[in-house]
Each structure stands twice: as C-alpha cells, then as structure tokens.
Amino acid sequence: MTLQYQWQLADELPMIYGTCVCIYCALQADVKVGTDIYVSLGLFSYSAVVTLVYVQIRKPVFHQVAYAMEVAVILIRNTMHQMEIRKTNIRAYSELVNMFWLGVGSFGGAFVLWNIDNIFCNQLRALRTVLPAPLSPLLQLHAYWHIGTALGCYVSIVYQQYLRLVKLGTIDDFCMRRLVLVVPYIDRRKKIA
C-alpha cells in the first residue's frame, strides 16, 4: 500500500458514501412523491458507523466487506426491480439487463485486473522494463481498475435513472442511446408536431 492511511481513507470512504446514494435510488425508485426519512437515516448511520470503525481498526478488509455489503443490496434490489419490469415492459427490461451486465462486467473485470496487479506487481514491473516504451503502459493494470470502476459507476447511475423513469411510467418520453456502441445514455424522444 503506497498511500498514507489518512489518504487511503480519503480514497475509500467516498466509495461507501457514493454507494449509499445508489442504494437510496434503488430502494426509492418507485416512490412518486416525498422521501423515506428512515431510509435516509439508515444509510447515513451506516456511513457514519463504517467511517468511525474504519478510522479505529485500520484494516482494509473491513472496508472491502462494508462495500461488498452495499453492492449486494444494490444487486438484489435491482434484480427484483428487473423481475417486476419483465412482466410489463420487455423493451425496458432488456435495456436494464444490458446495463446491469455492462456495469457488473466493468466492475468485475476491473476487480480482477486490480487483483492481478496487486498479486503480480513485481513481475509486471519487471515485464514493463523489457517491453518497448509504447507497450509498457498496457500493463498498468491498476489504471484499468480506475477505468473499469468509473465506467461501472457511470452505468450504475444511468441504470438508476432509467429504472426510475420506468417505475414512474414516463419511460415512453425517453430512449436509450449508446456512445461508441457501448456507453449508454438517456435521451428525450423528439415530439412529433
């Protein structure tokens, strides 16, 4: 680990906080008006407890488990939403499933590359020194971790937006588009005059 502990916290704790926002969106996707204060308080409390415990125990595995629990909640709730939507809107279901797997694949692939980088760091460094200069950056697997998680986070946000539009019954005003055939974004349908 190359970061000092306080900077490691500055890197990892925002993952917990940001994921709480995604949990809130997943749990509140079909709420038409208002907010559920108990969900908000629960997520705030979870973030506070994780922060306080992690500052004290200084074990990265604690953060990993806390983050994995959040991801599990999102995956389970979004899978339940997808199963409900499959019964009523197959087009929306298909879009959600595609985004779901793009997000899971981005995070999963990034996680695998990050762990390869951690386990085989010395070997990868040695290999980079013998490769031609233009090829050496290709073995910076930690960089792919950041690219994969960034894409996964972005796709998760678009997924939550799309899910909310479906649950509120306004999805027919929008359509899914893809940038470079992969990166999804939501676009408002053109109104025919």
Structure tokens at 55: 């500052």
Q: Are 23 and 74 in contact (CB under 8 A)?
A: yes
Q: Are 55 and 25 in contact (CB under 8 A)?
A: no
Q: Would the annotation count 142 as a binding residue?
A: yes
Q: Are 186 and 104 in contact (CB under 8 A)?
A: no
Q: Would the annotation count 81 as a binding residue?
A: no
Q: CA angle, 75 as apex, 45 and 118 as ends, to 5°? A: 85
Residue 176 to residue 157: CA distance in whole angstroms: 13
Residue 100 to residue 105: CA distance in whole angstroms: 8
Annotation: binding site: 142, 146
- Would you list which residues are annotated within the binding site for Zn(2+)? 142, 146
